[in-house]
Amino acid sequence: MGVVAKLPRPAADPTPRTEGDDAGEVRLRWAVAQHSRFVYRTLIRFGVRQADAEDAAQEVFLVLARRLAEVPVSSERGFLFKTAVGVASTRRRSEQRRAELFDVRLDGAAVAEAGPEQLVERLRLRRLLQRALDELGADQREVFVLVELEGLTAPEVSRLLKLPLGTVASRLGRGRRSFLEAVERLKIDSDLKDFQYG
């Protein structure tokens, strides 16, 4: 850990930064360039609808902008991840049940061969998997998303979340088991519902 991390953390600065805060501006631009897509995906993985993910990402980066002085250099990604998880949690609580959208424009891979009904099926499967993800405990879910969906290694997650490697490994193992159990359970529930419905 560098010198910056050892310095006492300054209190939150409630005053807006001035135009002359060039270093902050550069750092924010860098953070947006490096991490905005990661934040966008994280928000969706933690339950924000794709249609709302851009607004939610804006919220996340506003938090970073306002608390930039508190965030050690090179810790932006971890800060953004934790903030995105929090924003997603708040939004999920306040959001009503709304239609799921398969936005073909944003999913170019879907367009080529699939008919609309196949896209609906894929959308439903995604929703089921997303629900399975929702059933994971918060700690397991963070590690699971970062490894399985973001492709980070366990040591990378360990550094990002500031957790011992053993903790990451055990959360990942439990997360995988819980996820599979949830998928099987939800799939059975879904089949039963379809059966009753049909």
Partner 1 sequence: MAEHDPDSRGWLRSHPLAHELVRSAETDVPAPGFEERLLDGLRSDRLGASSAQHSTADDSDFDAVDAVTDQRVQAVGTEARAAAQAKSPSPVRSRSAWAAYISAVAIAAIAVFAIWTIRGKSEQRPELAPRPIRAPAAQTEPNANAPCEQAVRADPALPLIDDFEDGNGRLLAHGGRFGTWSYIAVDGAGPALVRPLAPEAMGKPNNRHALHARGAERHDWRAVWATFGPACYDASAFAGIRFTGRGPAEIALQLDTVDAIERKYGGTCETDCGHGHRMRIELGDRWERYEVLFRELVQGAEVPPGARRAFDPRRLNALAFVVDPGSESFDFWIDDVEWIAR
Taking CB atoms within 8 Å and a gap of at least 24, the contacts of 124-130 are 124/100, 127/100, 128/183, 128/186, 128/187, 128/190, 129/183, 130/45, 130/47
CB atoms within 10 A of CB 79: 20
Q: Does 61 bind partner 1 (CB under 8 A)?
A: yes
CB atoms within 10 A of CB 76: 19
* 172/193 Cα distance (integer angstroms): 31
Considering only 4, 5, 62, 188, the residue that binds partner 1 (CB under 8 A) is 62
Shortest reach from residue 8's CB to partner 1, in Å: 26
Nearer to partner 1, 5 or 125 (CB): 125
Site string for partner 1, 80-109 (x = CB under 8 A): -----------------xxxxxxxxxxxxx
Considering only 4, 173, 181, 185, the residue that binds partner 1 (CB under 8 A) is 173
Q: Does 163 bind partner 1 (CB under 8 A)?
A: no
Shortest reach from residue 6's CB to partner 1, in Å: 29
Q: Does 172 bind partner 1 (CB under 8 A)?
A: yes
| Residue-level length of the chain | 198
Nearer to partner 1, 5 or 192 (CB): 192
Site string for partner 1, 29-48 (x = CB under 8 A): x--xx--xx--xx--xx---
* 134/186 Cα distance (integer angstroms): 12
Residue count at the site for partner 1 (CB under 8 A)? 77
Q: Does 28 bind partner 1 (CB under 8 A)?
A: yes
Q: Check if the beta carbon of residue 39 is closer than 8 Å to that of residue 54.
A: no
